[in-house]
A and B are shown apart, each in its own frame.
Chain A
């Protein structure tokens, strides 16, 4: 049924097309949506044809970017239509409109399965495509065996099997366990022998996914891949339909060579020889032809062959052939080839021994930095950055600095960072480094992050020879009429420390230095003023003998700021005034800054993180790490000509970075407020400013005690994860260094008393919850929000519920797209009273971080309370009827947190245990009641009496009564927990989660894993 047959749809589309502006379009679309909605409401009158038409309209509206929040049900229901046209529409529209977490999708799972196992191959294709596009974990678990069967079935036609291959790929990604590796590797190899190229193409994609995960198991496929490649390159048995401009399926050739890049080496000499023959032919035999399409297709193959040659670390001769080709490419006129030439040359840098040949092309690459096309300029920048070493750093950095003035804003920040890093890594002498960074700040101050100037200050502080030079340079920049605020900061800091080294030069007397800096003060923001104040204090200290006039001037400034609204400024002003009264002691306190402990450059770490952002499980990355290549884009700080054997391309994280970065001041803060210090969305950027200034403001140099960070325990189990991760993917995973923001325990406790809030947060993700409770039912929605501009992968949320809670969770997507929030509703049913807590085992991957946290869910006992206030007439008969254990329990509780009675009443009310004032004649006693709901107890009244001792607030007598012995006991214990400990962090004293002895093995069998885990927490 062609669309031309659906007149209404055509009319609608042309109406929309004829709209003069967006408003008209909006009106037309709204009208149509209204129309569809009414039609769907009286669904009975709809023919399948009409349904189909409306569903297409919905898809069209959705494509235009309008929200279509209804009619999903209708789309899904078409899937079960008996006729092909309707069914097809149902499948296609469903996979466009819904995602794997959609509840409606579940409704279709049975129909989909029936279509897959049924005999109608067109239905099979539709169903496989839907699952292949949007199937989730649930589909993976229930359908994987059927799909595998189809893929290898000899009775199935290729058109079904090729779809089964990609469907299986999806299911494998959703849940790798669905593939039994042992039996599958042989089948995979057989699939590559297929005659039908559609099946081979899809199977090759499946193979790529499998080998990227674990190449060890698929060695048997390696020779098969080479055979496929030979078959294609020799044009053996390739149907005409699969040749594209005379080239046998370029896409399959590319995919096959990609699969080969996931195998670290090729050991079998025959296979290796055959492969190299093919590659040699591609390298030598690809000519530039007139036809654009043919040219592109053959070069697509050529570039993939280049990548494979690089990966295989071929003989030197072949490598130089590659470099020569690339050298040719970066100079051609065709922009696509130029772009790819630069891109691949950057990859080539990872290969040993070719850097020198690449350097010969430096001039050409620098020309590309001025190309009119930003895509090409970016590639050129990356390449120059990668090929930079001590021998050419001066030239390259010079060029980059020049380019900085003309570069578009989008590139300046990256460019500045790269310049700063190169200058630091490869500076032939330190004064040059200072020159470069100051120029950088001068030219692109807005794009120079704080890390850059912090780093130059560190360098100057740690190198005495550099200090007079830096001071002189800083002084020179201050002469400029307009300078960037960052320049004010860095020069003020440097001059404060070292201007006395310039004292004999003209224009450098303390007074002159002071006045030229002070001129800038009116132009700066509050973040700079504290630095200026410190500078003044230091100038004063260095002025010997004291200059009373200068002293008065500076004191006047301090006095002016004594009442400043900004606390930092005020504090410094007050402290400096007080300090200056101390006379000689001032000298010690304001003495020169001690050297900074050597640490990895935060800049370089930042650059790594940027890299990690885009790091996918790519063949190139994997290869780079497998080979330990001595790439120039390495992350180590040594000049590249040192070629240290341990350098990796990938981010090399220092696992204990956080410890190194927290100086003792930070640590103390950490302890006192019980929260973690990482609030910066870029965790590795250390608080250098804190380092710079804290000793000055507070005390002398602190000992470099890298005490371990004790607060991590609550949520992050580092070591265990690292091992687990290593077992899975030895290369990509790194230690879990992601720290939660805020205290997990504190957040949990806050949520015990309210129904919405943040459960967990770290630099990458925020998990919020919102809950509704009604009797013994609860609905808790988890909001998983990705805070970054790159996706979070391998997201898993497993609920470990204790036996008294029945939980049902909807699907969680494996990836959370950038800046997206995913909702994950969780239905909870309370079966019986218990204080055990459900635990959410949440893990995800961000770049190289694997984060796994266990979070207690605030589905706690008091959530199933409903306040009820009882009168004296109701209370006492009940109280008396529940006589003695086990329905009524009494206990004397000691070690109670002392609090006034009123506060205690508020505490009780906060967990829905309503205090009835005046019920108990004794003013030192409290009586409270609530209704507890669970499936076994139904609604049950609970009564509580607390008798306090005004003479000793640390002890009390508590009596709890209800109609259920377990409830009475649990409630008594619950109240005790609330009274005895500090509700904010009752578990703070608990040791950090001990790494499980064998993290890779499943936890010991237990009927109640949730309770077990909750115990651990």
Chain B
């Protein structure tokens, strides 16, 4: 399965984007988000980017005020996921130009479109930024 979920959470612990690739009920999501946000946000720069939680591994990365948290299976390649987060951020950067929390917040749909081009069913579909952004650019042009 690979990627179970992708979360973007600010340093106050507010979810800015959540995409799950396995079904969880709302209560489970709330509990899960609460627990892992608590665990990850409490960590410092000297600690590694991986947190083991239940039967997941959380690979996370912080960009300014925003945390990107990706839940993966235990045997997933952690560094590959870590850099996948960076690829996602670079892709958003290319589109928004110096992406920040507010861009994601107020352009939730674009963030979703990008993610949708990059991950499907928990697997990576595309890693070329140009390809990822093509549909969004087409849409922007159309409107």
A91 — nearest CB in chain B belongs to which residue?
A: B116
- Cβ contacts under 8 Å, A249 to chain B: 127
- Cβ contacts under 8 Å, A205 to chain B: 2, 123-124
A 194-206 to B, binary, CB cutoff 8 A, 1 in contact else 0: 0001100110010
Instruction: Take A3-B109, A5-B143, A133-B21 as given contacts and tell me if A65 and B15 are in contact as well, using a CB distance cutoff of 8 Å.
Output: yes
Once the chains bind, are B28 and A241 in contact (CB under 8 Å)?
Answer: no
The segment from A158-166, A663-671, A677-685, A966-974 that touches chain B is A158-166
* B48 at interface by CB-CB < 8 Å: yes
A396 to B125, CA, bound (A): 45
Least CB distance, A678 to chain B, in whole angstroms? 23
Once the chains bind, are A616 and B74 in contact (CB under 8 Å)?
Answer: yes
Once the chains bind, are B83 and A59 in contact (CB under 8 Å)?
Answer: no
Once the chains bind, are A169 and B123 in contact (CB under 8 Å)?
Answer: yes
B 124-139 to A, binary, CB cutoff 8 A, 1 in contact else 0: 1111111100110011
Once the chains bind, are B131 and A614 in contact (CB under 8 Å)?
Answer: no
Once the chains bind, are A2 and B143 in contact (CB under 8 Å)?
Answer: yes
A241 to B120, CA, bound (A): 20
Instruction: Take A163-B120, A169-B121, A198-B126 as given contacts and tell me if A241 and B131 are in contact as well, using a CB distance cutoff of 8 Å.
Output: yes
A795 to B86, CA, bound (A): 36
A5 to B47, CA, bound (A): 42
Least CB distance, A97 to chain B, in whole angstroms? 10
Instruction: Take A84-B139, A85-B143 as given contacts and tell me if A616 and B73 are in contact as well, using a CB distance cutoff of 8 Å.
Output: yes
A682 to B133, CA, bound (A): 50
Least CB distance, B2 to chain A, in whole angstroms? 7
A126 — nearest CB in chain B belongs to which residue?
A: B116
Number of A-B contacts (CB under 8 A): 200
Once the chains bind, are A1 and B139 in contact (CB under 8 Å)?
Answer: yes
Once the chains bind, are B48 and A3 in contact (CB under 8 Å)?
Answer: no
Once the chains bind, are B77 and A254 in contact (CB under 8 Å)?
Answer: yes
B134 — nearest CB in chain A belongs to which residue?
A: A159
Instruction: Take A63-B17, A338-B48 as given contacts and tell me if A251 and B84 are in contact as well, using a CB distance cutoff of 8 Å.
Output: yes
- Cβ contacts under 8 Å, B62 to chain A: none
Once the chains bind, are A618 and B75 in contact (CB under 8 Å)?
Answer: yes
Residue B75 contacts which of A255, A619, A790 (CB distance < 8 angstroms)? Answer: A619
Instruction: Take A89-B109, A241-B129, A250-B80 as given contacts and tell me if A133 and B120 are in contact as well, using a CB distance cutoff of 8 Å.
Output: yes
B43 — nearest CB in chain A belongs to which residue?
A: A373
* A340 at interface by CB-CB < 8 Å: yes
Number of A positions contacting B (CB below 8 A): 87
Residue A3 contacts which of B52, B80, B110, B123 (CB distance < 8 angstroms)? Answer: B110
Once the chains bind, are B55 and A613 in contact (CB under 8 Å)?
Answer: yes
Once the chains bind, are B2 and A376 in contact (CB under 8 Å)?
Answer: no
A274 to B136, CA, bound (A): 41
Instruction: Take A1-B143, A2-B143, A129-B120 as given contacts and tell me if A300 and B127 are in contact as well, using a CB distance cutoff of 8 Å.
Output: no
- Cβ contacts under 8 Å, B33 to chain A: 65
A 231-256 to B, binary, CB cutoff 8 A, 1 in contact else 0: 00000000101101000011110110
* A10 at interface by CB-CB < 8 Å: yes
Residue A618 contacts which of B18, B73, B107 (CB distance < 8 angstroms)? Answer: B73
Once the chains bind, are B120 and A372 in contact (CB under 8 Å)?
Answer: no
Instruction: Take A92-B113, A162-B125, A169-B121 as given contacts and tell me if A59 and B79 are in contact as well, using a CB distance cutoff of 8 Å.
Output: no
- Cβ contacts under 8 Å, B25 to chain A: 817, 820
Once the chains bind, are B48 and A339 in contact (CB under 8 Å)?
Answer: yes
Instruction: Take A375-B51, A613-B55 as given contacts and tell me if A297 and B79 are in contact as well, using a CB distance cutoff of 8 Å.
Output: yes
A 51-92 to B, binary, CB cutoff 8 A, 1 in contact else 0: 000001001101111110000000000000000110011001
A239 to B80, CA, bound (A): 20
- Cβ contacts under 8 Å, A791 to chain B: 22, 55
A198 — nearest CB in chain B belongs to which residue?
A: B126
- Cβ contacts under 8 Å, B87 to chain A: 244
Which of A2, A63, A239, A293 has the most B CB atoms < 10 Å from its CB?
A: A63
* A42 at interface by CB-CB < 8 Å: no
Least CB distance, A278 to chain B, in whole angstroms? 17
B46 — nearest CB in chain A belongs to which residue?
A: A335
A616 — nearest CB in chain B belongs to which residue?
A: B73
A619 to B121, CA, bound (A): 19
Once the chains bind, are A813 and B83 in contact (CB under 8 Å)?
Answer: no
A339 to B59, CA, bound (A): 12
Chain A 797-820 residues near chain B, CB threshold 8 A: 813, 815, 817-820
A501 to B105, CA, bound (A): 75
- Cβ contacts under 8 Å, B48 to chain A: 335-336, 338-339, 373, 375-376
Residue B47 contacts which of A59, A100, A375 (CB distance < 8 angstroms)? Answer: A375
A258 to B108, CA, bound (A): 33
A-B contact pairs, 9 of them (CB 8 A): A3-B108, A13-B105, A122-B138, A132-B120, A163-B120, A201-B124, A375-B47, A618-B74, A818-B28
Known: A85-B139, A791-B55. 14 other contacts (CB 8 A): A2-B107, A2-B143, A3-B106, A65-B30, A84-B142, A85-B143, A88-B139, A170-B121, A254-B77, A297-B79, A339-B48, A378-B52, A789-B54, A820-B28
